[in-house]
């Protein structure tokens, strides 16, 4: 059975289009009706296959911090296949490293295209598999992709999960260190549900901490969820990391996270993961609204500044 499951093949390099075909295993009940699962990892204008969608990440003041690139599989026969179904399957068939590399290249091409069009997305986060970090040449690959797209290293963030560092002296840690040295930042994804120790976290070259979405659900109603979230924010702050909360759905959750000192929020409260055209529309709308709000704030501050400052200066002249 295991042999039968490894009948996939990969043709071509990560620069698409790439056709990947593999046969359904009989025990995969999700796809029982499909005699063969076939998907194509293709360039953006190719029919079907993988696409990246982008979910906005906003700082607490409403300015754009970046976006997370999330893979979507739109299959000609099966329709939209959610990542919860195709990622475990891709892991099983040994395709997950290729999806990470493809996402990296696709995201960089997209950032570059946005910048050429005058849309500034400060940073895009790409989800990488622990398997990607077993590749000692990953740092060089990242450098080459950035250079091909004329991007500085701070345009990119690589998200890793706690599983990447299960072995103390693994290739993964050396790869992470090489990536840090190149100036590309690393983010610890889904933090709070795995088993990595805090001392290990402190040793890792990670600049961002993402609080697992599971804590958001109950943050307003359960003292334990709030306490864990507060603790994670403190850990991140103490280690000088940017703390990002994902899965934020309500304004109440967003306000609570702001009070806790969380730096960035991501979730339905702002927008779901959006296709490229939808993300561009969202960004244009947000920039217009945020720009207006920021100008109004500036006008208010300047009006408030004028009177009290003049009074203060005249009432309390300070010695030089
Ligand atoms: Ca992620």
pLDDT tens-digit profile of 174-226?
A: 999 999 999 999 999 999 887 667 877 888 899 999 999 999 999 999 999 99
Instruction: Look at the block and give the residue holding tokens 């999806």.
Output: 99
Length of the chain counted residue by residue:
320
Q: Is residue 113 part of a domain?
A: yes
Separation of CA 170 and ligand 1 centre (Å): 22
Contacts of residue 307, defined as CB under 8 A and 6 or more positions apart, other chains included, come to none
Instruction: Tell me how crowded residue 248 is: count the other CB atoms within 10 A of its CB.
Output: 25
Token look-up 């093949």 returns 9
137 occurs within a structural domain: yes
- 180: closest CA among 150, 157, 214? 157
pLDDT for position 169: 60
- How far is it, in rounded angstroms, from Cα 60 to Cα 65? 9
Cα of 86 vs centre of ligand 1, distance in Å, is 15
Residue 268 DSSP label: T
Exposure string over 67-89, b if 16+ CB within 10 A, otherwise e? bbbbbbbbbeebeebebeebbeb
The CA 121 to ligand 1 mean position distance, Å, reads: 17
Residue 284 in domain: no
Looking at the structure of the chain, the number of domains it has is 1
280 alpha carbon – ligand 1 mean position (Å): 21
- What's 104's domain CATH number? 3.20.20.450
Cβ atoms of 257 and 265 closer than 8 Å: yes
Interatomic CA distance for residues 92 and 6, integer angstroms: 8
Query: What pLDDT shows up at residue 27?
Result: 33
In a domain, 214, yes or no: yes
pLDDT for position 47: 45
Q: Which residue positions in the chain have pLDDT lower than 70?
A: 1-48, 166-169, 195-196, 295, 297-299, 301-320
Q: Give the per-residue pLDDT at 230.
A: 96
Measured in angstroms, how far is the CA atom of residue 158 from the centroid of ligand 1? 9
Residue 270: the pLDDT is 97
Q: Residue 132 Cα, ligand 1 centroid: separation in angstroms?
A: 15
Distance (Å) from CA 62 to ligand 1 centroid: 21
Let me know if 59 is exposed, middle or buried by CB neighbors in 10 A (0-12, 13-18, 19+): middle
SS3 230: helix
Look at residue 206 and tell me if it is in a domain: yes
Whether residue 21 is contained in a domain is answered as no
CA of 69 to the centre of ligand 1 (A): 8
N- to C-terminal Cα separation, the chain: 84
Instruction: Provide φ and ψ at 249, rounded to 5°.
Output: -110, -25
Tell me the Cα Rg of the chain: 22
The confidence score (pLDDT) of residue 94 equals 77
Q: What's the angle, vertex CA 225, arms to CA 220 and CA 230, rounded to 5?
A: 95
| Structural domain of 59 | 47-274
189 Cα to the center of ligand 1, angstroms: 5
CA distance 25 to 20: 16
Q: Is residue 29 part of a domain?
A: no
Which phi and psi angles does 221 have, rounded to 5°? -120, -20
């Amino acid at each position: 059975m295991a042999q039968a499951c490894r009948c996939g093949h990969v043709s071509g390099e990560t620069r698409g289009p790439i056709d990947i075909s593999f046969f359904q295993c009989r025990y995969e009940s999700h796809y029982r009706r499909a005699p063969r699962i076939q998907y194509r990892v293709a360039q953006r204008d190719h029919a079907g296959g993988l696409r990246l969608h982008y979910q906005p990440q906003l700082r607490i003041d409403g300015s754009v911090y970046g976006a997370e690139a999330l893979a979507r599989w739109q299959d000609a026969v099966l329709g939209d296949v959610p990542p919860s179904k195709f990622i475990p399957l891709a892991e099983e068939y040994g395709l997950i490293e290729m999806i990470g590399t493809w996402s990296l290249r696709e995201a960089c091409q997209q950032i570059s295209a946005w910048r050429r069009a005058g849309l500034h997305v400060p940073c895009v986060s790409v989800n990488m598999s622990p398997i990607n970090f077993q590749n000692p040449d990953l740092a060089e690959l990242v450098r080459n992709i950035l250079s091909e797209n004329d991007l500085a290293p701070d345009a990119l963030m690589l998200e890793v999960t706690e599983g990447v560092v299960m072995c103390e002296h693994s290739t993964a840690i050396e790869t992470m260190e090489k990536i840090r040295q190149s100036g590309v930042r690393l983010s610890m994804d889904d933090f709070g549900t795995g088993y990595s120790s805090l001392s290990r976290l402190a040793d890792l070259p990670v600049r961002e901490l993402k609080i697992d979405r599971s804590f958001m659900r109950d943050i307003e109603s359960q003292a334990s969820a709030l306490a864990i979230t507060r603790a994670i924010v403190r850990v991140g702050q103490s280690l000088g990391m940017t703390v990002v909360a994902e899965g934020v759905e309500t304004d109440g959750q967003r306000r609570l996270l702001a009070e806790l000192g969380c730096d960035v929020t991501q979730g339905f409260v702002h927008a779901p993961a959006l296709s490229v055209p939808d993300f561009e529309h969202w960004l244009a709308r947000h920039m217009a609204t945020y720009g207006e709000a920021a100008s109004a704030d500036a006008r208010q501050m300047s009006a408030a500044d004028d009177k009290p400052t003049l009074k203060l200066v005249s009432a309390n002249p300070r010695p030089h």
